[in-house]
A and B are shown apart, each in its own frame.
Chain A
């Protein structure tokens, strides 16, 4: 158990964290690269930049935008994301680990806040999972990974909460800690290669859509022909 824990905390952590950091950077760069290529190929170079930026900001800070058609889902999702982002980054114990490892530290969450946010993330994660099963429209659109993600994401939160309120034997603590680390590392590895990549691609989504949905010069004719719509006004 101890060896496993050391392996998970040391080499395995560095491996998975590097895959996450570089993987996210990679898709970010590839996306921008793709967007630039799309712009270069675009026949119509009049891109509504302002509108794209406004839309992006609207989705980044969903103050009014989110509560349109599915207010309950939106609220649950926002609350879930709050804990999901804040707790791992600003938890006191995590920052201490960074500080001892790299010498870099930053502000931390008060213990009570961290506890509430952890619990809320667990609860809202479960709510989102069951919501996806229960609501017809949502389950119709869902892939397997959409069900799995809320479940995978709350595992480190549950085990982390147990470890932080150490009401367990030392052997039990080590077990939960191992699960905590391993599940987090699984998330790290999956992050850049699944839909969770939206954590870095989000600011680009509107821009890419605006740029990409333009035909390259002189391709409108062949496209219209292959769609059997030659001469039909679009």
Chain B
């Protein structure tokens, strides 16, 4: 049983490390924890955790179909573990999705705000429903433990067949619609992986993967718990997978040939290498291995073949999910160690739950029994502390919690503390703008900006008196200091208080004790507030609120000023409901319209840049 304990200890170490990284992700966001960007918005978490995760959980629907629809009763012993694997797999997918969503707290939106045109909507609903079905399908097993729930159990068992039907239907739908997701990017995916029949390919490969996942899981657990592996059953599954894989290969190759893309397979590009590796590892190799009856009967070859299919199909999902798009987007992406550790952590947690369920409930024909838990067994003294840590469950509790604790602490220590800040903030200085009829507010100074009708705002808000609404005259003697004087940077806040200047002769030669009370530590927090001396810091009726000595970034300041006011006005003015919408001021244009002379920061194509209204014609005139 040492095998199980060591495995669990390692899994707990991984989970502990990932837990700390996971907290960092939720505290500081995607920009800090991932290597994703606008050109590569989907990375390891979608490619491996979601795309491959859903496919890996396919064993559930494959085996229930075999047993309940095809009536192959001999496979019944492996139904429960397969359903459990599928259920945990889907839970893991949902958890990973929470990490990957920019606004994870909005995950429920799909329930209320329907977008029936989106394949993602269909995937989301299917996954939600299927997870529920799997829960209902599996729950009779843990309910067995207590007679209190006998009624619920019999109720659920009565509906087993409809549930199985529903489960198979839902899986068929979303296993294939995961492929449909990529139909919307025909020009971003490499042609070898893009196909109009991607949904069908995804479905067939999911069936093959489901068969092989059951095999692999059965082999792995029989190794762990030293129990007898169901080799007879597994060899039958392997035999079936030969057929499924052959169909997959046939459909895939003929699709490529019909599309006239067969020349791409051997053109020597790195995509062609990926493709050959994928087909050899995930399809051709296993077909060859499992076609030989002796190999199907041998555990070693079953191990080899099932691992090849699993890796090959995971590789395929990662390829479709984004790896092969890099050649076209021109962006390079490799997951950061934080992304990898979270993926590993979610996977480890799912395995731990699986082992827990297997030990606790009646998942297999015979539940594994811990030899140290026998009533007659002698106490096993811990080597380090020379004490008996109690029965295996108690001893495990002590050790696993320590493992979790230490790896969590290590992760907390190595996650850079002070360096955690948003990678998105680039220091872009702002420029002066003064008066005039229409101001052109240029967000990134890349020709995409907003036309701000300055004159119109003055006349609508009450002529000269209204200047103070937006302009705060915070520099003494200067009655119209421009925004750029304090909001110095486009995306970063800056210090609005000149400490050196205040103590210099030009700044009034102010002694320290004027602001810092004597005897107190001289720090910003213990100093006097600015408005104690600068009484007219903000004019009467200003919209701005003075909080700290820090000027927010230019973009933030402008947005707050405009958006807040527009939101208010949208409520009071009739027929102006759209006033607070982004597109009211920002017009979207695709990059094709950009002038080649236009200075662009960065070299990646961005699709949602905004452009000054009317600038389009200006740019065209330049051509």
> Is B20 interfacial (CB 8 A cutoff)?
yes
**Looking at the complex, which one of A12, A18, A99 makes contact with B20 (CB distance below 8 Å)?**
A18
Asked if B521 and A19 make an inter-chain contact with CB atoms under 8 angstroms apart, the answer reads no
Rounded to whole angstroms, the CA-CA distance of A160 and B397 in the bound complex is: 38
Rounded to whole angstroms, the CA-CA distance of A101 and B525 in the bound complex is: 15
- Which residues of B have CB within 8 Å of A33? 397
Asked if B413 and A22 make an inter-chain contact with CB atoms under 8 angstroms apart, the answer reads no
Rounded to whole angstroms, the CA-CA distance of A33 and B402 in the bound complex is: 16
> Is B414 interfacial (CB 8 A cutoff)?
yes
Asked if B413 and A18 make an inter-chain contact with CB atoms under 8 angstroms apart, the answer reads yes
Asked if A10 and B409 make an inter-chain contact with CB atoms under 8 angstroms apart, the answer reads no
- Which residues of A have CB within 8 Å of B521? 92
Asked if A19 and B405 make an inter-chain contact with CB atoms under 8 angstroms apart, the answer reads yes
Residues 500-552 of B at the A interface (beta carbon under 8 Å): 521, 523, 525
Asked if A18 and B408 make an inter-chain contact with CB atoms under 8 angstroms apart, the answer reads yes
The 0/1 profile, CB within 8 Å of B marked 1, for residues 1-45 of chain A is 000000000111011111100110010011001000000000000
Asked if B408 and A10 make an inter-chain contact with CB atoms under 8 angstroms apart, the answer reads no
Please, how many residues of chain B have a CB less than 8 angstroms from a CB on the other chain?
Answer: 20
Whose C-beta in chain B lies nearest to the C-beta of A25? B405
Asked if B410 and A30 make an inter-chain contact with CB atoms under 8 angstroms apart, the answer reads no
What is the minimal beta-carbon distance from A48 to any residue of chain B, in angstroms? 27
Whose C-beta in chain A lies nearest to the C-beta of B398? A30
Asked if A19 and B397 make an inter-chain contact with CB atoms under 8 angstroms apart, the answer reads no
- Which residues of B have CB within 8 Å of A30? 397-398, 401
> Is A146 interfacial (CB 8 A cutoff)?
no
- Which residues of A have CB within 8 Å of B409? 14-16, 18-19, 22
> Is A115 interfacial (CB 8 A cutoff)?
no
Whose C-beta in chain B lies nearest to the C-beta of A26? B401
- Which residues of B have CB within 8 Å of A14? 409, 412-413, 415, 417
Rounded to whole angstroms, the CA-CA distance of A96 and B524 in the bound complex is: 11
Question: What band does the interface of chain A fall in when counting residues whose beta carbon is under 8 Å from B?
Answer: 10 to 19
**Looking at the complex, which one of B398, B405, B414, B525 makes contact with A11 (CB distance below 8 Å)?**
B414
> Is B418 interfacial (CB 8 A cutoff)?
yes
Rounded to whole angstroms, the CA-CA distance of A16 and B405 in the bound complex is: 11
Asked if A11 and B413 make an inter-chain contact with CB atoms under 8 angstroms apart, the answer reads yes
Residues 330-366 of B at the A interface (beta carbon under 8 Å): none
Rounded to whole angstroms, the CA-CA distance of A15 and B17 in the bound complex is: 12
Asked if B405 and A15 make an inter-chain contact with CB atoms under 8 angstroms apart, the answer reads no
Candidate in B397, B402, B412 with the most chain A CB atoms within 10 angstroms? B412
What is the minimal beta-carbon distance from A190 to any residue of chain B, in angstroms? 14
Asked if B401 and A101 make an inter-chain contact with CB atoms under 8 angstroms apart, the answer reads no
User: By DSSP majority rule, is chain A's interface helix, strand, loop, or mixed?
Assistant: helix
What is the minimal beta-carbon distance from B524 to any residue of chain A, in angstroms? 10
- Which residues of B have CB within 8 Å of A101? 417
> Is B161 interfacial (CB 8 A cutoff)?
no
The 0/1 profile, CB within 8 Å of B marked 1, for residues 101-139 of chain A is 100000000000000000000000000000000000000
**Looking at the complex, which one of B397, B401, B413, B525 makes contact with A12 (CB distance below 8 Å)?**
B413
The 0/1 profile, CB within 8 Å of B marked 1, for residues 58-96 of chain A is 000000000000000000000000000000000010001
> Is B266 interfacial (CB 8 A cutoff)?
no
- Which residues of A have CB within 8 Å of B414? 11
Rounded to whole angstroms, the CA-CA distance of A96 and B405 in the bound complex is: 27
**Looking at the complex, which one of B20, B410, B418, B525 makes contact with A10 (CB distance below 8 Å)?**
B418
> Is B406 interfacial (CB 8 A cutoff)?
yes
Decide: A96 near B412, CB < 8 A? Known: A10-B417, A19-B405. Answer: no
- Which residues of B have CB within 8 Å of A17? 412
- Which residues of A have CB within 8 Å of B408? 18, 22
- Which residues of A have CB within 8 Å of B404? 22
Whose C-beta in chain A lies nearest to the C-beta of B397? A30
Whose C-beta in chain B lies nearest to the C-beta of A105? B525
What is the minimal beta-carbon distance from A7 to any residue of chain B, in angstroms? 10
Asked if A19 and B406 make an inter-chain contact with CB atoms under 8 angstroms apart, the answer reads yes
Rounded to whole angstroms, the CA-CA distance of A129 and B162 in the bound complex is: 73
Asked if B523 and A22 make an inter-chain contact with CB atoms under 8 angstroms apart, the answer reads no
Whose C-beta in chain A lies nearest to the C-beta of B410? A15
- Which residues of B have CB within 8 Å of A10? 417-418
Asked if B405 and A26 make an inter-chain contact with CB atoms under 8 angstroms apart, the answer reads yes
- Which residues of A have CB within 8 Å of B397? 30, 33
Asked if B412 and A15 make an inter-chain contact with CB atoms under 8 angstroms apart, the answer reads yes
Rounded to whole angstroms, the CA-CA distance of A12 and B414 in the bound complex is: 9
- Which residues of A have CB within 8 Å of B413? 11-12, 14-15, 18
- Which residues of A have CB within 8 Å of B402? 26
Whose C-beta in chain B lies nearest to the C-beta of A34? B394
- Which residues of B have CB within 8 Å of A29? 401
Rounded to whole angstroms, the CA-CA distance of A219 and B360 in the bound complex is: 26
What is the minimal beta-carbon distance from A50 to any residue of chain B, in angstroms? 30
- Which residues of A have CB within 8 Å of B410? 15
The 0/1 profile, CB within 8 Å of A marked 1, for residues 398-441 of chain B is 10011011101110111101100000000000000000000000
- Which residues of B have CB within 8 Å of A23? 405
Rounded to whole angstroms, the CA-CA distance of A87 and B523 in the bound complex is: 20
Residues 182-211 of B at the A interface (beta carbon under 8 Å): none
- Which residues of B have CB within 8 Å of A22? 404-405, 408-409
Rounded to whole angstroms, the CA-CA distance of A26 and B409 in the bound complex is: 13
Rounded to whole angstroms, the CA-CA distance of A23 and B417 in the bound complex is: 21
Asked if B412 and A18 make an inter-chain contact with CB atoms under 8 angstroms apart, the answer reads yes
Rounded to whole angstroms, the CA-CA distance of A19 and B20 in the bound complex is: 12
Rounded to whole angstroms, the CA-CA distance of A15 and B417 in the bound complex is: 11
Rounded to whole angstroms, the CA-CA distance of A92 and B20 in the bound complex is: 29
Rounded to whole angstroms, the CA-CA distance of A17 and B405 in the bound complex is: 11
Rounded to whole angstroms, the CA-CA distance of A22 and B413 in the bound complex is: 13
Whose C-beta in chain A lies nearest to the C-beta of B412? A18
- Which residues of B have CB within 8 Å of A12? 413
Whose C-beta in chain A lies nearest to the C-beta of B411? A18
Rounded to whole angstroms, the CA-CA distance of A172 and B412 in the bound complex is: 30
The 0/1 profile, CB within 8 Å of A marked 1, for residues 475-500 of chain B is 00000000000000000000000000
Candidate in A15, A17, A96 with the most chain B CB atoms within 10 angstroms? A15
- Which residues of A have CB within 8 Å of B418? 10
Residues 377-398 of B at the A interface (beta carbon under 8 Å): 397-398
Rounded to whole angstroms, the CA-CA distance of A18 and B523 in the bound complex is: 29
Candidate in A19, A33, A99 with the most chain B CB atoms within 10 angstroms? A19
**20 A-B interface contacts by CB (under 8 A):** A10-B418, A11-B413, A14-B412, A14-B415, A15-B412, A15-B413, A16-B409, A18-B20, A18-B408, A18-B409, A18-B412, A18-B413, A22-B409, A26-B405, A29-B401, A30-B397, A33-B397, A92-B521, A96-B525, A101-B417
Q: With contacts A11-B414, A99-B525 known, what are 12 further pairs, Cβ within 8 A?
A: A10-B417, A10-B418, A11-B413, A12-B413, A16-B409, A17-B412, A18-B408, A19-B406, A22-B409, A23-B405, A26-B401, A101-B417
Q: Nearest 5 CB-CB pairs, A to B?
A: A15-B413, A18-B409, A18-B412, A11-B413, A19-B409
Chain A interface (Cβ < 8 Å from any Cβ of B):
10-12, 14-19, 22-23, 26, 29-30, 33, 92, 96, 99, 101
